[in-house]
Amino acid sequence: MAIATTSRRTFLRLSGIGSAGIAASQLSGLGFNTAFAAKRAATRKLEGTKQTASICPYCAVGCGTMVASKRDDRTGAVRIVNIEGNADTPHSTGSLCPKGAATFQLAVNDLRVTRVMRRKPNATDWDDEEISYDAALDRIAELVSKTREETFVEREPGTGKLINQTTGIFALGGSTNDNEENYVLAKVARMMGIVRIENQARI
Amino acid sequence: MQFSDWIVFMGSNMAECHPVGFKWPMKAKANGATLIHVDPRFTRTSAMCDMYVPIRSGTDIVFLGGLVNYILSEKKYFLEFMINYTNAATLINADFKDTEEGDGFFSGYDAKTRTYSNATWQYQRGPAPARVPEAPAGAQGQSVKGVNFAQLIANRLPGVPKEDRSLQDPNTVFQILKKHYARYTPEMVERISGTPKELFLKVAQVITENSGRDKTGVFTYAVGWTQHTTGVQLIRTAGLIQLLLGNVGRPGSGIKALRGHAQVQGATDISTLYNAHPGYLNTPNARRAHDTLRDYILTETQPTSFWSNTPAYVVSQLKAWFGEAATADNDYGYDWLPKITGDHSHLPTFVEMSEGKIKGMILTGQNPATSINSTFQRNAMRNLEWLVVLDLYETESAAFWKAVAGSDPAKVATEVWFMPAAHIAEKDGTMTQTSRMIQWHDKAADPPGQARSDLYFWYALGKKLKARYASSTATKDLAIKHMTLDYDPDPADVAEWKHKDEPSALRIFKEINGYEVATGNVLNTFGALTADGKTAAGAWIYTGALQLIDGKVVNRARMTPGKNDGWVSPSWGWAWPGNRKQLYNRASADPDGNPWSERKKYTYWDATAKTWKNVGGDGIDFAPTKAPGAAANPTGIGIAFHSGRDPFILKTDGKGWLFAPVGTVDGPIPTHYEPWESPVKNLLYKQDRNPVAKFWDVTGNKYNEFGGVQFPHVITTYRLTEHHLSGAMTRWLPWLAELMPDLFVEMPPELADEKGIANGDFVTVTTERGSTEARALVTRRLRPLTVDGKRVYQIGMPWHWGYMGIATGDVANNMTSLVADPNVTIHEAKAFTADIRKGRAR
Amino acid sequence: MATATKGMFVDTTLCTGCKACQVACKQWNELPMDDETAVREHRAFTANSYDNTGHLSASNWRHVKFVEQFSEDRVDARWLMMSDSCKHCEQAGCLEVCPTGALYRTQHGSVDIHQDVCIGCRYCVGACPFGVIDYNQRTGRVNKCILCQDRLEDSQGTACAKACPTSSLTFGNVDDLKAMAAERVRALHARGQTDAYIYGWDLGNRGTITQGPNKGAAVADMEVVGGLNVFYLLLDKPEVYSLPSSPQLPQRNMNPSAGVALISAAVLGVTGLAAFRRRRMEAVAASSEVSS
């Protein structure tokens, strides 16, 4: 799926701690531990990463990004290591703005919510209880279906026109989604009779 | 844009809001182009421009109308372009009355309903072709069986529009425009907009002297033009200028819309908007003649433009949605679809929510708790029975019930679900950027924890809902029952990933693109779509993004670097329609098909090969072998009705419309009205405000008194480079939070002195809707304006803040109101009134 | 193995002040926020134009400056922006005073910090005439821009220059960049922008300031501390950009036996040097005429 793989990059991992570009002999005379530098060289930032072309998710210029990712041996999941501009992109030529340059931090961030959360009616905080994504979806399907049945109008009062409209549900959002997501969103919502479908293009 | 000779940024702060795109104007500048920024504030864009031109927010139509007047009265138009490619010479119904006669009203206004009838705005036409008798329409559900649409459409051909190419007839569009804009003089521009006359005239000179055969220029706008009660007409005014100057369809020309969100273009194309199905097909509407599929198709099909192909697009879409269940015997399932019964857009829906009529809401990456009149919207949300939020962070909307949002949680009975979403690098799919280019992106990583893509959410939810109605026989459940929903992935494609049940974005993209029903083969062009159920396509405009080449499916939306890519890089992504990057590019050649000039050569007629060619490899936005000399056929359907000299194939007469007989509900020509809230009266007409603007006279949405003294300052809201929209994607990021940590209000020192405000002070800005606390940023980048002899201060606030995240702050939208453009229901947040005082809000 | 000296040309006339360089630097080098508590407690807003990070620091190796020059009647109106970082000086004061060799000249001609070797003595902090180096409270060592040393070793340019949307930052061989800069100044002068000149090297340009409080004053290219490998095209006096007009290396300020002076400073502690840095920056700030 990735367009390029760089298994043997000579990038170094720095963490703002400096470089291994200094000869060990220069250091030994000063009595510093050269083994530390050698160890650091093994944590090269992009070594073993896969490079995948992607797109900046902020404004609509659609700048190209290059995502470096790597399998985390501990969890088995593939994690993002670095995101920078994709120099092949004709309209952005590798540049990014500060938001685009921060795309990495949008993904890899301690504040990102990665668990399903439920807030019960009138509760002052989210539930602590763990709940599976699927169980949450079951409940959401139940809510959607219930409200549809409560607010569905098959024929418009007065005109008698066939309108098949679920009046009580609003699907809002879409300007941050992929086209395929919007397509499925609108398809599922419309087939449920939902006509209140809107996104940020309007506001 | 790098090929432009002038660029006017107006209603856009491109350097700040589209910083990477801004590299191309900078290239144009290095090539000698003149860059002009017309804006209420001196911004980072102004700093890069050759000229900064101040203007009062909400008076753009006066400024642009002034340019139209300058072009017409000084005869600066590009005559050959204007007379051949626009409707300047077309004759309008003699009963048409202009706003000059109606003191701010066009003919056709009904004061009771606050709407216009456009009957008097129509073209004068010759006789229509003879009609042939039609077989009676079939019953509902059987209305298109055996119907020959071509015949029905031919039967609806209008007569040929009448013209006076001498432009002398007072009913020509040219004469109507001249009269309409005659009072939009440089002096009037200065009086209303506060723009010094000399600066205005300098702009007029730059754009007229640098347009024509050899030179072209471009207007660049964003929501600074759309978020007005006159937004649509405002953009049309720039369209008038560009059509008069010959700046359409040519290299370095046009009007560039800079969209704010990554997917505002895509979410409009593959619409998640109430009024459109994917591919800009209007949603079936109980208020229009849409009762049966036949009615719908005949109402929506324009007999004399490219839209004459509408039947194929509609039927193919129904086939994509309902698959085998869609047949000619059941009108392809048309009757199962919901119909709209009014304006169901964002603002009116929130008004309904405030009345308790909306019980459930699913938010897919949107944050209404900080949106227009946010107090009103947050209050409305408290009426919800349930709310589902799909996002990466706990947005203000996800937390609307918390004390930090001003709620008493014990009194909010809403059941709320937060479904953690995936980052763009954690999923496959396409996005369509602002120049209609679709780009495919591959998944690079697994989403963390329980996070899933929005695609999975909607797919899995759809499956569960389908299961609920699988055995129903009720007519109301047929849509969900028969909806196709099979996008399970090829196991090999998900082998490397954590989630093996992630739906295949490629399979969905194929459904959008379209395929032949019998073979499942993808279709290479929308020309292959048919109205007989043999093809399926979710959105005709995207047909051809996937192509069958030598038996293999090629994803043209892939980001493939090309060699010798030329001007438009045709191999990188795929621009709809048909990979045409410059629309209406037939206009880049003169009527005979020759380039207007060597310097601006683009699409041209190759008389030897008898075909149109393009120097940059761009798609031809015209019938590819229709000769420039081809005559119009008064009995021809679609673009056959146009001649070889008519570049605007989506228009019913093939011309660029200086005058719009249909399509706009607030008049055929742009006219200045003051913003809904303004400190001054309309100096041009007795009618102050757009007479058909949408407003909501409901509790919690009180408007400031028009021209009142309580809220004397003009205020505008905007974005910064360092944050994005409501901040939901930026104020949680340490690297961005520190760059712009707090909400501020920009104001000129003259106002600060009057109010005793020092730079950095806490200040409170108020309107009838509420107040917002911010820090003062006192700067000479803002300046007092003189409007009709009166000093007017403008202040401005970015609207990125809210109560969640690392960098928190008050919500600027506490102050805005629900009031909107009548055509598209986009609110007016770029120009309203407010007061400001020193000190904290609460 | 010596290679051509690498550096950056900073053309301030192309800077839109977007701060992409600041973030790209933090992204690649994985630098934290300067002071999260200050942001959360609403103490981070400076009200100084669009600059809220203020200065270079251990966690901001790049910093964008904003200078608003508007006359009362707004006839003169310009907003100057400049992306600043370590200049990788030809005669680098920091490198000369470093007692351990932690600061060293790389094969690319840049000045890198070997973190393992840094003892946090902070001599370099006071020795830098530009206030670039900062003591990192978290690590007990010093930090600054290292010209993306690891990227250079992979023949990649700096992260900041790659991100820059408008090519205000250009990475390359310093010799090539000088030629490019000379060409750029000529082009600007030809267009009437006669205030353009080079800070860092003397390429022979002379001009006159066209706008702002220093309007009419003469400007000329200036070589700074033997040449700056990250050098600037400016439109106003260096002080306007908080750059020293005649930066001095510390050993020349102190006494001929710099080493002795520094060792005694070490004995006395580092507060003196930190104060020296502060005084230097205050002096620069005081001499800059920035209208608001």
Query: Please, which residues bridge with residue B735 across strands?
Result: none
Based on the structure, what is the number of domains in chain C? 2
The whole-angstrom separation of Cα B741 and Cα C38 is 9
CB atoms within 10 A of CB B474: 10
Interface check for C163 against chain A (CB to CB < 8 A): the answer is: yes
Look at residues B142, C154, B78 and name the one whose alpha carbon lies nearest to residue A82. C154
Q: Is the pLDDT of residue A27 over 90?
A: no
**CATH number of the domain residue C113 falls in:** 3.30.70.20
- Give yes or no for residue C279 having a pLDDT over 90: no
Residue B303 DSSP class: T
Residue C131 lies in a domain: yes
Please report the DSSP string for B376-406 in residue order: HHHHHHTT-SEEEEEESS--TTTTTTSGGGT
Does residue C288 fall inside a structural domain? no
Q: What is the pLDDT of residues B262-287, one digit of tens each?
A: 888 899 999 999 999 999 999 999 99
Chain C touched by A17 (CB under 8 Å): yes
**Residue A151: both structure tokens together:** 């607010």
Contact at CB, C23 and B778, closer than 8 angstroms:
no
Q: Of A182, A170, A152, whose CA–CA distance to B479 is shortest?
A: A152
Q: For the residues B428-442, what does the mean pLDDT come to?
A: 92
Task: List the Cα angle B646/B154/B94 in 5-degree steps.
Answer: 60
- Distance in angstroms (rounded) separating the CA atoms of residues A27 and A18: 14
Which sign does the torsion angle of CA A121, A126, A130, A136 carry? positive
Q: Could you give the CA distance from residue B782 to residue B746 in angstroms, rounded to a whole number?
A: 7
Q: Where are the domains of chain A?
A: 6-47, 49-112, 133-202
* C-beta atoms of B479 and A78 within 8 A: no
CB proximity list for B408: less than 8 A, separation 6 or greater = none
Q: Cα separation of B109 and B668, whole Å? A: 12
Residue C2: pLDDT band with limits 50, 70, 90:
low
| Predicted local distance difference test score (pLDDT) of residue B52 | 98
pLDDT greater than 80 at residue B389: yes
Full DSSP string of A104-122: HHHHS-TTS--S-EEE-TT
Statement to judge: residues C80 and C193 lie in one domain: yes
pLDDT for res C280: 52
At C264, the pLDDT band (50, 70, 90 cuts) reads very low
Cβ partners under 8 Å of residue B734, min gap 6? A105, B806, C32, C33, C36
Burial of A42 (0-12, 13-18, 19+ CB in 10 A): exposed
Residues C240, C258 within the same domain: no
DSSP state of B92: B
DSSP secondary structure letters along C31-43: ---S-HHHHHTT-
Closest partner residue to A98 (CB to CB) among C20, C114, C151 is C20
- Proportion of chain A in helix, strand, coil states, percent, rounded to 5: 30, 25, 50
Other C-beta atoms within 10 Å of A28: how many? 11
- The residue whose two tokens read 């007569």 is B159
d(CA B508, CA B515): 11
- Taking the CA atoms of B786, B789, B791 and B794 in sequence, report the sign of the dihedral they define: negative
The dotted CATH code for A49-112 is: 2.20.25.90
pLDDT of residue B607: 96
Closest-CA distance, C204 to chain A, in angstroms, reads 32
| A80 neighbourhood in chain C, CB within 8 Å | none
Domain that holds residue C113: 93-144+248-280
Residues ≥6 apart with Cβ < 8 Å to C245: C222, C237, C238, C239, C287
**Residue range C7-15: average pLDDT?**
98
Can you tell me the distance from the alpha carbon of B318 to that of B104, in angstroms, rounded to the nearest whole number? 44
Q: How far apart are CA B681 and CA B673, in angstroms?
A: 9
DSSP code string of C80-149: EEEEE----BSS-HHHHH-SSS-EEE-TTS-EEE-TTT-----HHHHH-TT---EEETTTTEEE---TTH
CB of A140 within 8 Å of a chain B CB? The answer is: yes
Q: Check whether residue C155 and residue C236 sit in a common domain.
A: yes
Is residue C64 domain-shared with residue C21, that is, in the same domain?
yes
Dihedral-angle region of residue B319 (phi above 0 means left; psi in -120 to 50 means alpha; beta otherwise): alpha
pLDDT at residue C250 in the model: 67
CA distance readout (Å), A47 to A5, A41, B671: 10, 10, 61
Nearest CA in chain C to B720: C18
CA separation for the pair B92, B90 (Å, rounded): 7
Question: Which of C48, C49, C74, C235 is the best substitution to test chain B (most B C-beta atoms within 10 A)?
Answer: C74
- Sort strands B281-282 and B611-614 into parallel, antiparallel or unpaired: unpaired
H helices within C166-257, ranges in order? Answer: 174-190, 250-253
CATH 2.40.40.20 residue ranges of chain B are 694-838
- B828 SS3 class: coil
CATH architecture of B694-838: Beta Barrel (2.40)
φ, ψ for residue B173, nearest 5 deg: -55, -40
**B24: helix, coil or strand?**
helix
Statement to judge: residues C131 and C207 lie in one domain: no
Residue C289: pLDDT band with limits 50, 70, 90: very low
Chain C interface disruption, residue of A6, A19, A49, most C CBs within 10 A: A19
| Tokens of residue B671, six digits | 């006219």
Identify any residues that bridge with B225 across adjacent strands, giving them in sequence order.
Answer: none
Contact B677, B713 (CB under 8 A): no
Provide the pLDDT for residue A13.
30
One domain for residues C221 and C76: yes
C98 touches chain A (CB under 8 A): no
- Residue B125 CB-half CA count within 13 A: 16
Question: A21 pLDDT exceeds 50?
Answer: no
For residue B429, pLDDT beyond 90: yes
A chain contacts of residue C30, beta-carbon cutoff 8 Å: 14-16
**Which of A16-20, B103-107, B555-559, C185-189 bottoms out in mean pLDDT, i.e. has the lowest?**
A16-20
Lowest mean pLDDT among A28-37, B152-161, B688-697, C44-53: A28-37
Gap from C40 CA to chain B (nearest CA, Å): 6
Is the pLDDT at B682 greater than 50? The verdict is yes
pLDDT of C90 above 60: yes
- Chain C residues with CB-CB distance to B44 below 8 A: 16-18, 50, 79, 81
Helix, strand, coil % in chain B, rounded to nearest 5: 30, 20, 55
Q: Are residues C175 and C239 in the same domain?
A: yes
pLDDT band at C122 (very low <50, low <70, confident <90, very high): very high
How many C-beta atoms lie closer than 10 Å to residue B314's C-beta? 27
The first and second tokens of residue B678, run together, are: 């303004």
Which residues from chain C sit within 8 angstroms of residue B749, using beta carbons? 292
Please state, in angstroms and rounded to a whole number, the distance separating the CA atoms of residues B88 and C109.
Answer: 65
pLDDT score recorded for residue B572: 85
pTM: 0.93
Contact A19, C146 (CB under 8 A): yes
Closest-CA residue of A relative to C151 is: A11
Judge contact between B324 and B351, C-beta under 8 A.
no
Per DSSP, helices labelled H in B217-345 are 223-226, 231-245, 266-269, 293-300, 310-322
Among B739, B742, B746, pick the best mutation site for testing chain C contact (most C Cβ within 10 A): B739
Give backbone dihedrals phi and psi of B52, rounded to 5 degrees, phi first: -115, 130
Residue with tokens 């992109």: A89
- What is the DSSP code (8-state) at residue C166? T
Q: What percent of chain A has pLDDT over 70?
A: 78
What does the mean pLDDT of chain B come to? 96
For the question of an ipTM over 0.90, the answer is yes
User: C169 with C268, same domain?
Assistant: no
Q: Please state the rounded mean pLDDT for residues C222-249.
A: 95
B478-534 pLDDT per residue, tens: 999 999 999 999 999 999 999 999 999 999 999 999 999 999 999 999 999 999 999
- In this structure, chain A runs to a length of 203
Q: Name the least confident of A27-31, A51-55, B573-577, B780-784.
A: A27-31
Bridge partners, B273 (sequence order)? B276
- Stretch A142-164: mean pLDDT: 98
> With contact defined as beta carbons under 8 Å apart, do B779 and B748 qualify?
yes
- The residue ranking higher by pLDDT, A2 or B302, is B302
SS3 B497: coil
What pLDDT sits at residue C267?
39
Q: Is A179 at the interface with chain C, CB within 8 A? A: no
- DSSP H or E stretch at residue B419: strand B415-420
Q: Which CATH superfamily is domain B6-90+181-257 in?
A: Dimethylsulfoxide Reductase, domain 2 (3.40.228.10)
CA distance A195 to B338: 7
Same domain, C103 and C181: no
The sheet that has B429-432: what strands, in order across it? B429-432, B437-441, B574-575
Per-residue pLDDT, averaged over B584-609, amounts to: 97
What pLDDT is recorded for position A50? 95
Q: Mean pLDDT across the stretch B391-402?
A: 98
Instruction: Name which of A64, A61, A60 is nearest A85 in CA terms.
Output: A64
Distance CA B457, CA B515 (A): 26
Residue with more model confidence, B259 or C279: B259
pLDDT score for C251: 55
Tokens coding B169: 């007839």
CA B627 to chain centre: 33
Alpha-carbon torsion angle C7, C12, C18, C21, nearest 10: 10
Chain A residues in contact with C139 (beta carbon < 8 A): 16-17
Statement: residue B826 has pLDDT above 90:
yes
Between A24 and C246, name the one with better pLDDT: C246
